Amino acid sequence: MGLEAVIREIQEKGRKEAEEVRKETRADVEEILRDAQTKAAGIKMAAEEEADRTATHIINQEVSAANLVVKRQVLNAQKTLLDQVYSASLAAVGDLPAEFHKKALTELLKKVAGEIKEGIVHANERDTPVVKEIISGQKTLSGYTVGAPVEIPGGIIVESTDGELKIDYSYRTFLDEIWESGLKDASDILFT
């Protein structure tokens, strides 16, 4: 065999080995690319899921915050309305006829006489003459004097002569008691 034949044989063998190495390299490259694409797809899917979870969480927080704001506004509106009803009720009682006030003051003075034997009776400016008339007209109230007018919508405030006891029978006090006990019922009627 000649030298040329040996060179051709070596070249041929080298080409075959090079071709084999190229095939193996292409296979390795393709496998690496497939793995990279699979990992990239997994990362992309995980990122999308996380973005969806985050978006859902943010939306839920915003909805909750909006609901809270609306609820607060509704409660504030209800409180404003209840305050208006309270004020209107107090004004309505104050606007009742003089006969009502005279009868109410008489009953309140009788009631206080069972608790304080002697004292000073305070009423608003409108009711002070009526209180004087009631006290002067009933012997059971002879231990009472009329004090300076006070800023109340009606009723009386009585303090014992020794100053140790004070009883508030003003209309506001009675309305407050009724209001406290009936607030839930009134709220249910107005707002349901």
> For 173-191, what is each residue's pLDDT tens digit?
988 888 888 777 766 776 6
- Report the C-alpha dihedral over residues 147, 149, 152, 158, rounded to 10 degrees: 0
pTM more than 0.95: no
What's the average model confidence in pLDDT over 47-74?
Answer: 92
> For 10-54, what is each residue's pLDDT tens digit?
888 878 887 888 888 888 888 888 988 999 888 999 889 999 999
What was the pLDDT predicted at 138? 87
> Exposed, middle or buried, 47 (CB in 10 Å: 0-12/13-18/19+)?
exposed
